[in-house]
Amino acid sequence: DIQMTQSPSLLSASVGDRVTINCKASQNINKYLNWYQQKLGEAPKLLIYNTNNLQTGIPSRFSGSGSGTDYTLTISSLQPEDFGTYFCFQHNSWPFTFGSGTKLEIK
Amino acid sequence: EVQLVESGGVLVQPGRSMKLSCAASGFTFSSFPMAWVRQAPTKGLEWVATISTSGGSTYYRDSVKGRFTISRDNAKSTLYLQMDSLRSEDTATYYCTRRYPVMDAWGQGASVTVSS
């Protein structure tokens, strides 16, 4: 199985900060990488699919990049509603797998 | 509005069976592959099973293969997960998701607790 390693596992940042969350795959996943945000007690929400495609309705401060084994989710200017846990997900090779999550706290 | 509403979650003893349902509305259910994803308490997300639009193709993670069955009724716009021989490690919130593997819509989740 492809292992997805997210870093950092915990991130504390201030409103207005530029935030980056990283996801490293154990092998090339050919940009088949999605990002989800989950708030406590809620279902995950799709933010980005296939590395850099912004899901409809998601603010443009969210962006994704990467290739090969290394991928990044960037929030250009952190807003109070952006707290939560962020997961990456690879769908290049079966079984498709999630990262372990990055918990984003607002200072 | 796209809606996915799970039902059927409950407390069940190890070795017993349970069936989850996911009622879909607001979109053409038969046009989308669907999946179940689970999340154990305070843990991360884990894909469980996937089904094609017609139901003719299904895929499972190894740990549930032979015990879980994913199915769908396109006439009723409903997705199912039959879970047999349940184990304590199956304890989780189970989410149904649309348009796997993009997963652009999720239900609110059904809680399944396997315990004696």
DSSP collapsed to 3 states, B23-84: EEECCCHHHCCEEEEEECCCCCEEEEEEECCCCCCEEECHHHCCCEEEEEECCCCEEEEEEC
Q: What's residue A107's pLDDT? A: 85
CB nearest B101 (choices: A42, A96, A100)? A96
The pLDDT tens digits of the residues spanning A20-62 come to: 999 999 999 999 999 999 999 899 999 999 999 999 999 999 9
CB contact under 8 A, B102 and A89: no
Would you tell me how many other CB atoms lie within 10 Å of the CB of residue B14? 13
The pLDDT tens digits of the residues spanning B19-60 come to: 999 999 999 999 999 999 999 988 889 999 999 999 999 999
**Chain B neighbors of A36, CB-CB under 8 A:** 45, 103
Give the mean model confidence (pLDDT) for residues B62-70: 97
From the centroid of its chain, how far is CA B25?
16
